[in-house]
Amino acid sequence: ATFDYTMGDQEEARTKISRATAAAPDSFAAWHASSEIHLNLKDFDEALRAAEKAHALDSEDVFINTTLSRIWVQKGNKEQAEKFGAQAKMLGWKDQLKTPQGEDDGIN
């Protein structure tokens, strides 16, 4: 679905991500991908619905908190945007504390 979206086939992306979330309703990755696809398509209500499902599955994920912040910015709710933005920052700091500077975390 994300490949289809990247290649410009928005309808195929919507179809595939809908099938993915239906087939695997407990998949954090599927719901997060759905939220990003719908956010980029400016379907903010569907993006929020998908992001909230992903957040319910893993509220400690930095990226879903960032996505929720971006969605709330687009929906015009500054308070909610700031709440999730702050949560993302705190989770990022928490992750930095787990991997002291100079140690390889396998990502950076």
Token digits for 29?
Answer: 């990755």
| Total domains in the fold of the chain | 1
d(CA 21, CA 55): 14
User: For the whole model, what pTM was predicted?
Assistant: 0.83
Q: Is residue 88 part of a domain?
A: yes
d(CA 39, CA 74): 9
Please give the average per-residue pLDDT across 81-105, as a whole number: 83
CATH at residue 45 = 1.25.40.10
Please give the average per-residue pLDDT across 94-98, as a whole number: 80
Q: Are 65 and 88 in contact (CB under 8 A)?
A: yes
Residue 10: φ, ψ to 5°:
-65, -40
pLDDT per residue over 25-72, tens digit each?
A: 999 999 999 999 999 999 999 999 999 999 999 999 999 999 999 999
* Domain membership of residue 94 as a residue range: 2-98
Q: Is residue 46 part of a domain?
A: yes
Q: Is residue 108 part of a domain?
A: no
Q: Is residue 104 part of a domain?
A: no
